């Protein structure tokens, strides 16, 4: 499978909606591609938010889990902590007692390492946002959104059924941050146009799936428009304008 083919599977893969052989191919690829790993992690966060309804865990399940712990071998924590000899009962002692009962400087050293790791982990919880926005395109678009000097350009269709939001920074960097535009068929692309001094100029191609797409807007441009064109784009708009909107004047 090519990288593009693998990438196209990432959404379905994150939802366990691929065939077993495809899942194996994706997993092999994820081991060596941090970018695709980040994308899958993002999809899983999004899926988790969709699933985060329904409050109470069923009664009785915790009791079964707790009972199972008693018969359980030690947890697999070789990387995190030393393994004491006797598993049963030890787990329920307070940490302080266990440390005192354990022998040797090796244990103390391991505990020190653990404390450092713990501080690091705590810190990471606070920076969860960074993890979720790991994809570079999402990061750039979000940076534009949180920039207090950015301008929001609202684009809508004539019938009001399609809409999009563009975040435009003072530097001219623009990001399509939110849109209802549907995914286009193979061989098509969205193209964004600017109206500048009575002329329509191409500002770039947004691709078939325009979420997060980036383009540049010169100062002379007063209005944005989006059309659907053959892949590769066209020099002048050839199709009806799908959505358009005026750029608000600078505050």
Could you tell me the smallest distance in angstroms from the CB atom of residue 200 to other proteins? Answer: 27
Residue ranges in 128-147 that form contacts with other proteins under rule CB under 8 A:
128-129, 131-133, 138, 141-142, 145
3-state secondary structure of 242: coil
Phi, then psi, of 250 in degrees rounded to 5? -60, 140
76 in contact with other proteins (CB under 8 A): yes
CA pair distance 91, 106, nearest whole angstrom: 19
Question: CB 83 → other proteins: shortest distance, Å?
Answer: 10
11 lies in the site for other proteins, by CB under 8 A: yes
- Cα atoms in the Cβ-side hemisphere of radius 13 Å centred on 11: 3
DSSP state for residue 163 in the 8-state scheme = E
Task: Name residues contacting other proteins, limited to 166-195 (CB under 8 A).
Answer: 177-180, 182-183, 185-186
Give yes or no for residue 116 binding other proteins (CB under 8 A): no
- Nearest approach, Cβ of 98 to other proteins (angstroms)? 8
Q: According to the binding rule CB under 8 A, does residue 47 interact with other proteins?
A: yes
- Residue 237 is given by DSSP the state -
Beta carbon nearer to other proteins, 39 or 221? 39
Contact predicate 206/194, CB 8 Å: no
Q: Is 66 in the site for other proteins (CB under 8 A)?
A: yes
How many Å is the maximal CA-CA distance in the chain? 82
CA distance 178 to 163: 8
Tell me whether residue 2 or residue 77 sits nearer to other proteins (CB atom): 77
Residue 105 as a binder of other proteins (CB under 8 A): the answer is no
Q: Would you call 87 helix, strand, or coil by DSSP?
A: coil
If one asks whether residue 232 binds other proteins (CB under 8 A), the answer comes out as: no
């Amino acid at each position: 499978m090519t990288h593009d083919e693998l990438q196209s599977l990432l959404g379905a893969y994150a939802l366990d909606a691929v065939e077993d052989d495809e899942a194996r191919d994706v997993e092999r690829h994820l081991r060596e591609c941090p970018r695709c790993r980040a994308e899958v992690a993002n999809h899983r966060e999004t899926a988790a938010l969709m699933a985060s309804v329904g409050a109470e865990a069923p009664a009785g399940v915790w009791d079964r889990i707790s009972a199972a712990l008693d018969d359980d071998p030690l947890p697999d924590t070789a990387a995190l902590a030393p393994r004491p000899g006797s598993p049963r009962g030890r787990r329920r002692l307070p940490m302080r007692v266990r440390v005192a009962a354990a022998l040797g400087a090796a244990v103390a050293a391991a505990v020190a390492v653990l404390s450092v790791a713990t501080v690091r982990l705590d810190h990471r919880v606070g920076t969860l946002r960074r993890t979720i926005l790991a994809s570079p395109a999402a990061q750039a678009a979000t940076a534009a959104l949180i920039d207090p000097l950015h301008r929001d350009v609202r684009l809508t269709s004539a019938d009001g059924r399609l809409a999009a939001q563009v975040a435009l920074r003072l530097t001219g960097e623009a990001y399509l941050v939110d849109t209802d535009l549907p995914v286009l068929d193979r061989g098509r692309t969205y193209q964004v146009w600017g109206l500048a001094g009575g002329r329509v100029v191409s500002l770039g191609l947004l691709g078939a799936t325009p979420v997060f797409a980036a383009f540049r807007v010169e100062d002379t441009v007063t209005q944005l428009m989006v059309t659907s064109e053959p892949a590769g784009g066209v020099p002048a708009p050839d199709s009806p304008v799908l959505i358009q909107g005026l750029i608000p004047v600078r505050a």
